[in-house]
């Protein structure tokens, strides 16, 4: 069934539910001297390159490859359109390795035809903090599909991760592989229902007119929570404390320090937005919400070429109900002209999705660990991790 994945240290389908197997690493690290020193072989026309994202030219080549060949929905109507600034942010967190930004070029023309990346992260899995690689942006040009290039790319990123003495990874995919630690549902909240319907992202509900639909999704002009404001650099220590204590309740969650919070959560125009609630009396930071910007190209429309989507990221409520906090997030997203606000059913998101008029999408997202076994698969609400 899975000729490649059957050979890898990942939970296998035959072992699902076998609680006699221990939780933790599946295989032990090999001595560094035994890590392969040379890259894996590619078919003769292609060569490995390390992509320098500091270079405007290289960043544009990666952007173009992904814009034309990355993830689409099941009916091929939309394709993720990560911006260059987003890619630079996503791929250069504290402690990143340039050698984990891996491209494949055609030797003769130097055209970039495939890509895969890793970034380092500390993820807590129950009581253990694991230093691992988050692997993302695996992409093979449409004309080179089904030639078994993906397994070679995965082995090469694995080798380069091993060279840094790191032996675990986390990744997500829309496809089912051996074997998910949890499966999440995408939910969508219309902000610009007319455009969403015009481009086929959503449909008019039964017994609904366009004007009733627009009224249904209307939002106030202004946020409602006193003390709700954009996060600023001086908030990093307080947000780090708030987020660390909140994420403790989940079985799998990032172990963020202040440097991570500065990188991942300080607002960055058209990349990531973060808001918090500062108590008007005590000036304590009590609540927090954030979302990232990931547009999609609209593949067949005469009228619109991009769908502007916000994706729920990390949210913390201690004083204000999460429902009210996320309603304010919707209000600011609408003001910033996003067409839709997307969220997974992770963490406590189920407590607001239905009430705030999100509807389930047709997509699911499966989460995986490489070389780390969990005894039990998680409920999506036990997951405290959002990958980009
Ligand atoms: S998920 C996003 C993936 N990208 C896309 O969906 C973009 C559009 N699609 C493509 O570009 C291609 O279809 C890709 C496959 C490149 C996905 N994750 O070369 P092939 C297995 C893992 O003939 P192609 C993301 O970025 C498939 O089951 N494996 O196929 C996270 C089969 O193996 P097996 C996948 O269609 C990536 C084999 O590849 C995926 O030409 C995490 C077929 O290869 C997938 N999304 O290319 C990667 N799709 O026979 C794993 C297919 O066994 C990281 N396959 O079923 C693991 C950790 C590594 C680091 C470890 C460190 C210690
Ligand atoms: O965006 C997604 N689906 C949309 C569009 C569907 C178009 C036809 N296939 C959707 N729309 C309905 C919205 C509606 C709004 C009003 C309320 C009811 C709902 O369902 C889906 C997610 O649902 N997205 C995808 O399929 C994209 C791929 C998802 C997997 C991503 C894997 C990437 C991993 C990278 O690490």
* Ligand lying nearest the CA atom of residue 135: 1
- Contact present, 7 and 27 (Cβ < 8 Å): no
75 lines ligand 2 (CB under 6 A): yes
Q: How far apart are CA 343 and CA 348, in angstroms?
A: 11
Among 73, 210, 213, 364, the mutation site with the greatest number of ligand 2 atoms within 8 A of its Cβ is 73
**CA angle 282-286-288, nearest 5°?**
140
Q: How far apart are CA 315 and CA 81, in angstroms?
A: 24
Residue nearest to atom 18 of ligand 2 (CA): 359
**CA angle 59-62-64, nearest 5°?**
110
Q: What is the pLDDT of residue 64?
A: 98
Beta strands (DSSP E) in the chain are 46-50, 78-80, 101-106, 112-125, 128-140, 169-173, 182-190, 228-230, 252-254, 272-278, 285-293, 296-298, 306-307, 309-312, 316-317, 340-344, 359-370
Cα–ligand 1 centroid distance for 181 (angstroms): 17
Single out the residue of 310, 293, 298 nearest to residue 219, CA to CA: 310
Q: Is 369 a catalytic residue?
A: no
* Ligand lying nearest the CA atom of residue 184: 2
Among 90, 201, 299, the mutation site with the greatest number of ligand 2 atoms within 8 A of its Cβ is 201
Strand partners, 128: 125
**Class in CATH terms, 183-382:** alpha beta
140 lines ligand 1 (CB under 6 A): yes
Cα–ligand 1 centroid distance for 367 (angstroms): 13
| 357 membership: H or E segment, kind and range | none
Alpha-carbon distances of 163 from 36, 167, 194, rounded to whole Å: 9, 9, 51
For the structural domain made of 5-171, what CATH number should be given? 3.40.630.30
Place of tokens 């980009």: 388
* Ligand lying nearest the CA atom of residue 342: 2
189 lines ligand 2 (CB under 6 A): no
372 lines ligand 1 (CB under 6 A): no
- Contact present, 313 and 343 (Cβ < 8 Å): no
How much is the pTM?
0.98
Neighbours of 59 (CB within 10 A): 18
Spatial neighbors of 216 by CB under 8 A, at least 6 apart, are: 193, 208, 357
Q: What is the pLDDT of residue 307?
A: 98
Alpha-carbon distances of 110 from 47, 51, 164, 215, 230, rounded to whole Å: 9, 12, 28, 52, 43
* Ligand lying nearest the CA atom of residue 140: 1
Same fold across 5-171 and 183-382: yes
Output DSSP code: residue 31: P
Cα–ligand 2 centroid distance for 78 (angstroms): 9
188 lines ligand 2 (CB under 6 A): yes
Domain positions in the chain are: 5-171, 183-382
pLDDT (tens, 9 = 90+) of the chain, 388 residues, equals 999 999 999 999 999 999 999 999 999 999 999 999 999 999 999 999 999 999 999 999 999 999 999 999 999 999 999 999 999 999 999 999 999 999 999 999 999 999 999 999 999 999 999 999 999 999 999 999 999 999 999 999 999 999 999 999 999 999 999 999 999 999 999 999 999 999 999 999 999 999 999 999 999 999 999 999 999 999 999 999 999 999 999 999 999 999 999 999 999 999 999 999 999 999 999 999 999 999 999 999 999 999 999 999 999 999 999 999 999 999 999 999 999 999 999 999 999 999 999 999 999 999 999 999 999 999 999 999 999 9
Atom of ligand 1 nearest to the CA of 371: 63
Q: How far apart are CA 361 and CA 194, in angstroms?
A: 17
Q: How far apart are CA 101 and CA 380, in angstroms?
A: 29
Cα–ligand 2 centroid distance for 284 (angstroms): 37
136 lines ligand 1 (CB under 6 A): yes
Strands 296-298 and 285-293: unpaired
Q: How far apart are CA 9 and CA 151, in angstroms?
A: 14
């Amino acid at each position: 069934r899975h000729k490649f994945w059957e050979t890898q240290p990942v939970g296998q389908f035959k072992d699902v539910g076998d609680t006699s197997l221990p939780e933790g690493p599946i295989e032990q690290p090999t001595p560094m001297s035994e890590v392969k020193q040379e890259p894996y072989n590619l078919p003769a026309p292609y060569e490995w390159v390390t992509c320098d994202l500091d270079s405007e030219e290289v960043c544009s080549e990666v952007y173009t490859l992904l814009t034309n060949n990355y993830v689409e929905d099941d009916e091929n109507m939309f394709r993720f359109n990560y911006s260059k600034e987003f890619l630079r942010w996503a791929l250069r967190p504290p402690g990143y390795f340039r050698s984990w930004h891996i491209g494949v070029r055609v030797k003769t023309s130097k055209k970039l035809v495939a890509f895969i990346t890793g970034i380092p992260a500390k993820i807590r899995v129950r009581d253990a903090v694991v230093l691992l690689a988050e692997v993302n942006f695996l992409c093979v040009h449409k004309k080179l599909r089904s030639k078994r290039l993906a397994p070679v790319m995965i082995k090469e990123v694995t080798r380069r991760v091993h060279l840094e003495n790191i032996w675990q990874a986390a990744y997500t995919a829309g496809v089912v592989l051996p074997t998910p630690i949890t499966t999440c549902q995408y939910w969508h909240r219309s902000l610009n229902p007319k455009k969403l319907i015009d481009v086929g992202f959503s449909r008019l509900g039964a017994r609904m007119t366009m004007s009733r639909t627009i009224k249904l999704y209307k939002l106030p002009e202004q946020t409602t929570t006193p003390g709700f404001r954009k996060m600023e650099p001086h908030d990093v220590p307080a947000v780090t404390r708030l987020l660390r204590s909140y994420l403790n309740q989940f079985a799998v969650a990032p172990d963020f320090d202040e440097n991570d919070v500065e990188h991942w959560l300080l607002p960055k125009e058209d990349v990531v937005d973060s808001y918090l609630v500062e108590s008007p009396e005590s000036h304590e930071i009590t609540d927090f919400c954030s979302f990232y910007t990931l547009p999609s190209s609209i593949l067949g429309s005469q009228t619109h070429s991009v769908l502007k989507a916000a994706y729920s990221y990390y949210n913390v409520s201690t004083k204000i109900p999460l429902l009210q906090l996320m309603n304010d997030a919707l209000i600011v997203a609408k003001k910033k002209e996003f067409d839709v606000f997307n969220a997974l059913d992770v963490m406590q998101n189920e407590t607001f999705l239905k009430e705030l008029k999100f509807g389930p999408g047709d997509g699911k997202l499966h989460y995986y660990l490489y070389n780390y076994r969990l005894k039990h698969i998680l409920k999506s609400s036990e997951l405290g991790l959002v990958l980009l």
